A and B are shown apart, each in its own frame.
Chain A
């Protein structure tokens, strides 16, 4: 399936895939698709940064390749690795005559013994892939520099095999939670978009798309309550993901009303910090009543 050419069309298709993108995000994504540039998404926790890549892949029938970054991630976990154990077995299985044969060594370092990791896989797949580089801020600086190299050329050199180059660039989405400042060079290479908390109407729409079974009235109440929670002085304000979780939790319990009891029992779906929990419990009545 081809990527669309207009913002409106892209927004419509993402919506069909269950993702409500606002004008800014849709424009940024469209630019990324047409200019072949990576997108760097930053924003509060739980506003759907990772979801963007999943939906893009899903809607346009691309393969989602996810590289979850973490501290200490190394090239052998991001690019490729040789399957040493199999190579070893292969060597032991060779007869003396075969071992002296030139091609048998070449075969040892052939595609059969190469373990593809996300970045190499994405380069191989080209535009048939959506590459999600999740929480890039968690990887260390050195990795960022390396990423820069891959993102600029989309080519990877494997000494034993030669250079693998993408025939066409994959769509690349990077997400960051801002636990540390990313290097300017990486930011430069990307289109940038900040995803904030949605308005109440929009959040209700998002929940309705995600949880179609939920009653509209309940969704409205829950969204209003979550919006008020965000105004509270909380250590961890709930994201959209928490709103959806809360509606889902209430649905599982068969609640159709956001009563103080129901809310109190299911608070764990939205509030994830003990101090916050105390704060919210003290104000629970106001929060759910809308007063």
Chain B
């Protein structure tokens, strides 16, 4: 095929494949599809292997999407039923269970702005009482109000110095470029003063690791909201990086799911990704996975890790101890939110998991009510 003409039957087949991928949830742009057509020029379009690899190179841009790609490819070009191979089959029971556990906060009214004023007025009088009420004791209306307050909270991790510099009169490194420029303005005379630069600062990455197992589900839902706010704020320029993980029996990364603008869409998507809201907690294994698959690549390096869990670990405490030790070495600071701590200032960790993790925790907060989340937001910037 010499020309990539979208009208000829062969191109239609290829474009159809791109459409199928899109239907399977992959992000395939028109430009990608055109690249795929163009890719057939140097290759042999009748060779299935060429079709496959050309598509992988042009239509995919993420390692995670490879499984979906393979399934769609098999279905589209080989006519195989993807559900029969590769894809794990869910029994009706497990699906029902998963759905039953996925009680996300109720959908927000679409017209948020119309409603905001009266709610705010109501909140102003009750806000203090509400702040100190445990999430589990709140009525749905109160929870909705809390969620609105949360969307206004900002998580600001501590800052660190970067390698980049900016002009600054109080800086310490001489700015040769600016100095010479000034000198040239004066026909090569040495300038009257030196210009300086100093190192810029940048927010440290923030890594939220939320326990979504049975014992923690009630709290984690609100923390998901919190995570969404933080994640969404991070999309703005100059904000730090925010990564969000959920764990129960295993670890799931939901950072990308939480980038959606609307809270409920994002939370729904995140919930769909987290497949194990089944009540079992393996903190050690999950943190170990975090360190291995993500931490090793450098995702936690120099960051502030916020773990929210009650420390009821069903796994081997030694795994947890090792994972925490590694995580502590990788990250800058570890903050642990344990809702069971409550408002008790003399709280001593009682669960084995908490005791094992304690030596590596820099800051232990409760996170069971809004006031404690505010405390987190307040103390985070000072965690230097």
Contact B296 A236 (CB under 8 A): yes
User: Are the CB atoms of B301 and A91 closer together than 8 Å?
Assistant: no
| Binding stretch for chain B, among A31-39, A52-60, A207-215, A251-259 | A31-39
Contacts of A76 in B (CB 8 A): 177
Which segment of B32-40, B260-268, B346-354, B359-367 sits at the interface? Answer: B32-40
Contact of A235 with B326 in the complex, beta carbons under 8 Å: yes
* Bound CA–CA A265/B357 (angstroms): 35
- A1: interface (CB < 8 Å): no
0/1 interface trace, chain A 62-76, chain B, CB 8 Å (1 if under): 000000001111101
Q: A5-B42, A24-B53, A27-B54 are in contact. Are A177 and B162 (CB under 8 A)?
A: no
Given A7-B50, A235-B291: A179 touches B299 (CB 8 Å cut-off) = yes
Chain A residues whose CB sits within 8 angstroms of the CB of B53 once the complex forms: 23-24, 27-28
Contact indicator per residue, chain B 52-73, by CB within 8 Å of chain A (1) or not (0):
0110111011110010000000
Q: Among the interface residues A27, A137, A194, which one has the most CB atoms of the partner chain B within 10 A?
A: A27
* Cβ contacts under 8 Å, B60 to chain A: 192
Which residues of chain A (103-148) have a CB below 8 Å from chain B?
Answer: 137, 140
Specify which chain B residues have a CB less than 8 angstroms from the CB of A35 in the assembled complex.
35, 38-39, 42
Picked from B188, B202, B326, the residue with its CB within 8 Å of the CB of A91 is B188
Say yes or no for A99: interface residue by CB 8 A criterion: yes
* Distance in angstroms between the alpha carbons of A235 and B57 in the assembled complex: 30
Contact, CB under 8 Å: B297 / A177: yes
A72 pairs with B42, CB closer than 8 A: no
Closest A residue to B40 by CB, please name it: A31
Bound state CA distance, A35 and B291, in angstroms?
Answer: 39
**Structural contact, B42 and A31, CB atoms closer than 8 A:** yes
A56 → chain B closest CB, angstroms: 16
Interface string of A133-166 (1 = CB under 8 A from B): 0000100100000000000000000000000000
Neighbouring A residues of B183 by C-beta, 8 Å: 88, 91
B136 within 8 A of partner (CB): no
Task: Out of B162, B187, B241, name the residue touching A180 (CB < 8 Å).
Answer: B241
Contact B57 A42 (CB under 8 A): no
Known contacts A99-B188, A140-B164; A188/B43 CB under 8 A:
no
Q: How far is the CA of A177 from the CA of B299 in the complex (A)?
A: 11
Tell me whether A194 and B58 are in contact in the complex, defined as CB-CB below 8 angstroms, given that A35-B39, A72-B163 are known contacts.
Answer: no
Chain A interface mostly: mixed
Q: Let me know if B188 and A28 touch, CB within 8 A.
A: no
Known contacts A99-B188, A193-B56, A194-B63; A31 and B39 CB within 8 A of each other: yes
On chain B, the residues within 8 Å of A74 by CB distance are 164
A71 to B32, CA, bound (A): 30
Partner of B297 from the list A28, A88, A179, A187 (CB cut-off 8 Å) is A179
The answer to whether A235 and B292 have CB atoms under 8 Å apart is yes
Q: How large is the interface on A (under 10, 10 to 19, 20 to 34, 35 or more residues)?
A: 35 or more
Q: Which residue of chain A is the closest to B164 with respect to CB atoms? A: A72
Identity of the chain B residue whose Cβ is nearest the Cβ of A179 in the assembled complex: B298
Q: Does A275 contact B (CB under 8 A)?
A: yes
User: A6 — which chain B residues lie within 8 A by C-beta?
Assistant: 42
Interface readout for B295-328 with A: 1 if CB under 8 Å, 0 if not?
0111101000000000000000000001000100
Are B297 and A184 closer than 8 Å at their CB atoms? no
A27, B57: Cβ atoms closer than 8 Å: yes
B326 CB contacts on chain A under 8 angstroms: 235, 275
Min C-beta distance of A178 to chain B, whole Å: 5
**Contact across chains for B162 and A71 when beta carbons are under 8 A apart:** yes
CA distance A236 to B42 in the complex (A): 39
Which residues of A (1-58) have their CB < 8 Å from a CB of B? 5-7, 23-24, 27-28, 30-32, 34-35, 37, 39-40, 42
Q: Is B39 a contact of A188 with CB atoms below 8 Å? A: no
A262 within 8 A of partner (CB)? no
Chain B residues near A91 (CB-CB < 8 A): 183-184, 187-188
Mark B322-351 against chain A: 1 for CB-CB distance below 8 A, else 0.
Answer: 100010000000000000000000000000
Residues of A within 8 A of B291 (CB): 235
Q: With A and B bound together, what is the CA distance between A88 and B189 in angstroms?
A: 10
Q: Which of B57, B184, B187, B322 contacts A275 (CB 8 A)?
A: B322
Residue in contact with A42 in the complex, picked from B41, B56, B63, B177, CB distance below 8 Å: B63
A77–chain B nearest beta-carbon distance, Å: 10
- B247-274 contact mask (Cβ, 8 Å, vs A): 1 or 0: 0000000011000000000000000000
Known A-B contacts A179-B297, A192-B56; A187 and B62 likewise in contact (beta carbons under 8 Å): yes
* Most chain A CB inside 10 Å of its own CB: which residue of B41, B177, B297, B326: B297
State the Cβ distance, A53 to closest chain B Cβ, in Å.
16
Interface residues of B in 91-108 (CB under 8 A from A): none
B176 CB-CB contact with A under 8 Å: yes
Nearest residue, chain B, Cβ from A25: B53
Judge whether A285 is part of the interface by a CB distance below 8 angstroms: no
Measured between C-beta atoms, what is the minimum distance from A79 to chain B in Å?
Answer: 13
Contact partners of B110 in chain A: CB under 8 A: none
B377 CB-CB contact with A under 8 Å: no
Contact of B61 among A92, A99, A190 (CB under 8 A): A190
Across the interface, name the chain B residue whose C-beta is closest to A87: B180
Q: Is B29 in the interface zone, CB < 8 Å from A?
A: yes
**Chain A to chain B: the 5 pairs with minimum beta-carbon distance, closest first:** A72-B163, A179-B298, A187-B61, A91-B188, A27-B53
A contacts, CB < 8 Å to B: 5-7, 23-24, 27-28, 30-32, 34-35, 37, 39-40, 42, 70-74, 76, 82, 84, 87-88, 91-92, 94, 99, 137, 140, 177-181, 184, 187-188, 190-194, 235-236, 275
A23-B49, A73-B163, A82-B180 given; name 4 further pairs at CB < 8 Å: A27-B54, A31-B42, A74-B164, A191-B57
Q: Can you identify 6 A-B contacts, CB atoms within 8 angstroms?
A: A31-B57, A40-B61, A76-B177, A82-B177, A88-B188, A191-B35
